[in-house]
């Protein structure tokens, strides 16, 4: 069982503590810039929901793009294959907020994890649920077992104040007919979604449905086995911005990062992980987080390969 990983987590935490800090927290959102770059937490969740960790694993942080995994799963569960007519499944090779590809690909984003793709997914989930952010929050509260999870209004407001690039992406896709809702409504939903605050413990437990091949914590099925495979596959190839190849090479697990410093990772059929450390590399991924997951798969021999 995953409990055998506890000594591995403790060893990784000791190694990270001895390692000089590299990278820096995201500076365009004041609440993120203020986080201590030396903070580090890591959690493992077993398939039955048992979770344990090291360091700051119960410290809430801004989840940011990690939430894109959950909105993708929620929308895929509702509309199935039709979703892939509106967003692709290929790595972008460009920054996560790039406008360049959208023009020569006629408003169809490369994948659901770059900002343009996530906006499409949130838009479609909002059309089908009436409240995409509320649907996400309800799901994460249920799957994590933490009814106190919530959005951070200060972070959402800060993102909105610096949201011109996301607004441009949304308007551009709307001009191609790939956005259904009014752009201001969509942006409000998206910024709230990204402001969700959770801990490594919360996110590791909430992600276990992907390790259980689509089964939720209560045993009901959210995704088919095939759909769970699809989400994990897109996480592996597209989940860490334009460093996805390096992440797959070093870690060998489906993963999704956020500029708040968190990364979730899935070991299908076995367990899920979440690691958090605010200092980011140039691609927007946690430096210590990637290193910790690299060490985890190296020390345990656990990967999908």
Give the closest residue to 107 by CA, choosing from 76, 86, 122, 80: 86
Give the closest residue to 2 by CA, choosing from 56, 44, 54, 57: 44
Q: How far apart are CA 44 and CA 2, in angstroms?
A: 7
**Which value, to the nearest 10 degrees, does the dihedral of the CA atoms of residues 89, 152, 266, 48 take?**
-140
Q: Which residue in this structure is represented by tokens 């709307």?
A: 174
Of the residues 54, 62, 68, 87, only one is catalytic, namely 68
Is 183 catalytic? The answer is: no
Of the residues 69, 259, 267, 275, only one is catalytic, namely 259
For every residue of 45-85, DSSP letters joined together read EETTS-EEEEESTT--EE-GGGHHHHHHHHHHHHHGGGGGG
Is 229 catalytic? The answer is: no
Of the residues 54, 241, 286, 290, only one is catalytic, namely 241
The Cα angle at residue 81 between residues 80 and 85, in degrees rounded to 5: 130
- Order the strands of the 271-276 sheet from edge to edge: 51-55, 41-46, 271-276, 262-267, 255-257
Give the closest residue to 123 by CA, choosing from 66, 174, 69: 174
Is 256 catalytic? The answer is: no
Decide: 108 and 178 in contact? Cβ < 8 Å: yes
Cα torsion 155, 231, 291, 145: sign: positive
Give the closest residue to 201 by CA, choosing from 61, 304, 38, 67: 61
Half-sphere exposure of residue 275: CA atoms within 13 angstroms, side-chain side: 27
Is 259 catalytic? The answer is: yes
Of the residues 39, 65, 98, 158, only one is catalytic, namely 65
Is 241 catalytic? The answer is: yes
Of the residues 190, 195, 256, 290, only one is catalytic, namely 190
Cite the active site residues.
65, 68, 190, 241, 259
């Amino acid at each position: 069982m995953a409990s055998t990983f506890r000594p591995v987590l403790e060893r990784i935490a000791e190694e990270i503590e001895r390692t000089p800090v590299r990278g820096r927290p995201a500076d365009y959102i004041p609440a993120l810039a203020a986080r201590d770059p030396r903070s580090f937490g890591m959690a493992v969740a077993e398939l039955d929901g048992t979770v344990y960790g090291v360091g700051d694993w119960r410290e809430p942080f801004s989840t940011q793009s990690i939430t894109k995994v959950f909105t993708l799963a929620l929308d895929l569960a509702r509309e199935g294959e039709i979703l892939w007519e509106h967003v692709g499944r290929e790595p972008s090779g460009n920054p996560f907020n790039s406008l360049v590809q959208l023009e020569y690909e006629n408003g169809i984003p490369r994948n659901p994890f770059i900002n343009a793709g996530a906006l499409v997914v949130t838009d479609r989930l909002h059309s089908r649920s009436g409240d995409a952010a509320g649907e996400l929050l309800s799901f994460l509260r249920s799957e994590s077992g933490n009814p106190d999870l919530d959005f951070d209004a200060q972070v959402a407001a800060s993102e909105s104040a610096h949201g011109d690039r996301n607004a441009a992406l949304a308007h551009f896709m709307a001009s191609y007919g790939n956005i259904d809702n009014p752009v201001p409504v969509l942006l409000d939903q998206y910024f709230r979604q990204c402001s969700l605050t959770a801990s490594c413990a919360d996110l590791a437990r909430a992600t276990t449905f992907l390790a259980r091949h689509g089964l939720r914590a209560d045993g009901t099925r959210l995704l088919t086995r095939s759909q769970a495979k699809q989400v994990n596959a897109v996480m592996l190839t597209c989940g860490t911005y334009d460093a996805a190849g390096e992440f797959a090479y070093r870690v060998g697990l489906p993963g999704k990062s956020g500029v708040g410093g968190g990364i979730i990772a899935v070991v299908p059929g076995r367990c899920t992980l979440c690691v958090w450390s605010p200092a980011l590399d140039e691609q927007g991924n946690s430096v210590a987080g990637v290193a910790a997951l690299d060490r985890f798969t190296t020390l345990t021999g656990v990967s999908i390969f």
